[in-house]
Structures are given as structure tokens and as C-alpha cells.
Amino acid sequence: MLSSAFIVTGLIWDISWHRTVGRDTFWTLPHLEEQLGASLTGLTCGWLVLKTTFFGTPADKASTVKFWGFSGPLGAWVCIWGTLLMITSAPFDDWWHNAYGLDVQIVSPPHMVLLWGMVAIQAGAILMAVAAQNRATDAQARPYALVYAASGGLIVTMAATAIMEYASAPNHMHSAMFYEVTGAVLPVFLVAFGRAGKLRWPATTTAAIYMVLVLVMMWTLEAVPATPKLAPIYNPVTHMVPPFFPLILVVPAIAIDLLLRRYRSANDWLLAIALGAAFVALMLVVHWFWSEFLLSPAARNPVFAVDQWDYTSRLGPWRYQYWESHRRGAPSGDILRGLGYATVFAIISARVGLWWGEGMARLRR
């Protein structure tokens, strides 16, 4: 969990560094924090595998998975694989920048290798937490269930960060793409953690941890002095550019928990339809009007951290406008079609989440 926290906070810090300072060298503090998290994971999980293999009791080995003659928890093997991916991404990323120059977007081949390594490490932490939760008695399960929910909050943070170019700025929140992307990506995590978690409000707890983590990073980074080091500088920022205000995922997460609790024995496809439709509907109700506040002068303060842009941004009235055309006050035909697609994507995402959550609920190793 500590490794995962290093990786997630390092990821958010790294993006802020690119938006504020520029990529002056590979050996930036966020990069070092991310690789520290990867190394810590690899060393601890490697030690766990060796300890279990050579010094574990028969009971210890019975709750592990064998690979190449070594025994270890399934989550430990996934973490080790993630460590290898993250370490491999470092020289790949350095070569990419030397060959093709500085990038200004998240999506690039070395970044995707890095992202999959991060996801694998977090997935390993999730697998170890849920296996411990499932092995414990009901009276002993709560601490493991909290760790499991925290793991979910970290991976939701990574997922939301991965889609931030399409679904984070309030300027996107009247567009079809915002609801299509969030509907396709986020329900799978909230539904999976909601189904397998043993807390009373597992999906809600996961969403709340995501929101708190992003808020803490947002408020911390915007208070740190920093200036750009690479030209061209169109916006001479004086402090770290923070992440956007987090998505209000607690609201659809509450609905997910209620539906999972009320219709636990229902057909999974019917339940997925209800979950997907509820997710999109509540995201629309919340963010359609919430974005109007974030684009207003009332939100231009450190609490909401809006109107803070990259040093490469040419500032203009576009900052306070929606970036896709729509009819004022009501969805246009395009957004209505997009909401239909978003609902279909969310239903499929929720169905995968139900399948994934059911599998995690049975995991013991």
C-alpha cells in the first residue's frame, strides 16, 4: 500500500511537473518517487516469495500460487511483474524524449508501459488485500476490507488520471465524450469493489478515498512555488499547476452500493443495466451543473483550484467556455446521442465489474 501511494502521488506530481516546469531531466523528484515505489514493491514481494518458498509452513504454501518452482501470493507475482514494467519504462521514456523531443500529452508508448506497470502493482496490492479479507472471519475482516477499499481508491485515481485529457476539466462536462469516457472506464472499478468489498459502503468508500487523495494533492501542489524551465513560455506560472478538481464519484457510488445491496441475487445482466444507467444519469445530473459553477468567477480560488493552466497555454476566453458546442441550458442532439452511447458503455463496464468482483470475492490465495 505504501508503494502504491508513492506511485499514485508520484504520478499526479509528475503530471503537474510537466505542466509547470517542463521535462528538464529524467531525474526529477516525481520520477524518483515513482521508481522508489516500484523498487519497494519489487523488493518486498520478492522477499515474500523467497520467504514463503524456503521458510514457509505447509499452511503458508497452501494459500499461495507456484511459479517456476517458487511459491507466493498471486498478488505478489502481479506486483513483481509490475515492477519489471515500471523499471523498463524508465530508459524507454528517456530514449523516447531524446529521439522525438518533449511530449505534452499523457498517452505515449513509454507512458503506457509505465501506466501498465503502475496498474499491475496496484492490482497486486488489491489481490493480496482481498485474499486476506476473504480468508478472515467476519469479525476480523474489517481492517482488510478497509485496505481493500483504499487499494480501490488508489486504482480509481490512476484510472481517472489516465483519462484526464478527456474527462477532468469542467470545460468537457457538457460534451458527449465526457460521459462516454467516464461511463466506459469508471463503473468497472466501482462495481467490482462494491461487489467484493465487505464494508457497508464499499464503492462509496473507494470513491471517497479517490476524491480525498486528489484534493490533498491539489491543495498541496498549488501551494508549492515553481517556474517553467523550457520555452516557449506563454503563461508564466509561479506555482505548481494542480490537478483538476476531482470528479464527484461519491454520488454514483452511493447508488451502486444501494443497487448491489438491494438486488444482490438478481441476474447480472439486469443488474448491470441498472448500474450502468444509474451511473450515467447521476454523473450527468451532478457534473452538468457542477461544471457551470466551476467555470464561474465564484470558483476561481484556491479551494477549487480552477483557472490554473500549463505554462504552454495561450490564455484567452476559452478558459471559461465549454469546448464542445451545445444548446444553452439543455443537452443538444449530439449530447443526447452521446448519453445513449455512454449508457451502453457503462452497462458493459458494470457487467465486467460484476464478473471481476465475483471473482475477487472468491479469491483466497
Q: Which of 135, 157, 175 is the last residue of a domain?
A: 135
What is the rounded average pLDDT for all residues in the chain? 88
Question: Ranked by mean pLDDT, which of 54-63, 230-239, 339-348 comes out on top?
Answer: 339-348
pLDDT bucket at 269, cuts 50 / 70 / 90: very high
Q: Which of 113, 135, 157 is the last residue of a domain?
A: 135
Q: What is the pLDDT of residue 234?
A: 94
Write the CATH number for 313. 1.20.1450
Residue 140 domain-assigned? no
Residue 144 domain-assigned? no
| Structural domain containing residue 255 | 165-365
| Measured CA angle at 246 (ends 157, 251), to 5 deg | 95
Kindly give, in sequence order, each residue whose CB lies less than 8 Å from that of residue 288, ignoring residues fewer than 6 positions away: 173, 174
Both 97 and 229 in one domain: the answer is no
Instruction: Give Cα 19 distance to the centre of its chain.
Output: 19
Mean pLDDT of 25-49: 86
Both 116 and 255 in one domain: the answer is no
Both 44 and 123 in one domain: the answer is yes
Both 231 and 357 in one domain: the answer is yes
Both 225 and 183 in one domain: the answer is yes
- 344 against 230, higher pLDDT: 344
- 183 against 87, higher pLDDT: 183
Both 22 and 128 in one domain: the answer is yes
Q: What is the reported pTM?
A: 0.87
Residue 160 domain-assigned? no
Both 109 and 194 in one domain: the answer is no
**For residue 62, pLDDT beyond 80:** no
Quick one: DSSP state of residue 25? -
- 138 against 215, higher pLDDT: 215
For residues 36 and 39, give the distance between their C-alpha atoms in angstroms, rounded to a whole number.
Answer: 5
Instruction: Give Cα 310 distance to the centre of its chain.
Output: 21
**For residue 222, pLDDT beyond 90:** yes
Q: What is the pLDDT of residue 266?
A: 86
Q: What is the pLDDT of residue 88?
A: 86
Q: For 131-141, write each residue's pLDDT tens digit.
A: 888 888 777 88
Both 92 and 30 in one domain: the answer is yes
Determine how many CB atoms are found less than 10 A away from the CB of residue 232.
8
**For residue 350, pLDDT beyond 80:** yes
- State the total domains in the chain: 2
Both 350 and 257 in one domain: the answer is yes
Residue 267 domain-assigned? yes
Both 360 and 238 in one domain: the answer is yes
Residue 149 domain-assigned? no
Tell me which amino acid residue 298 is: A
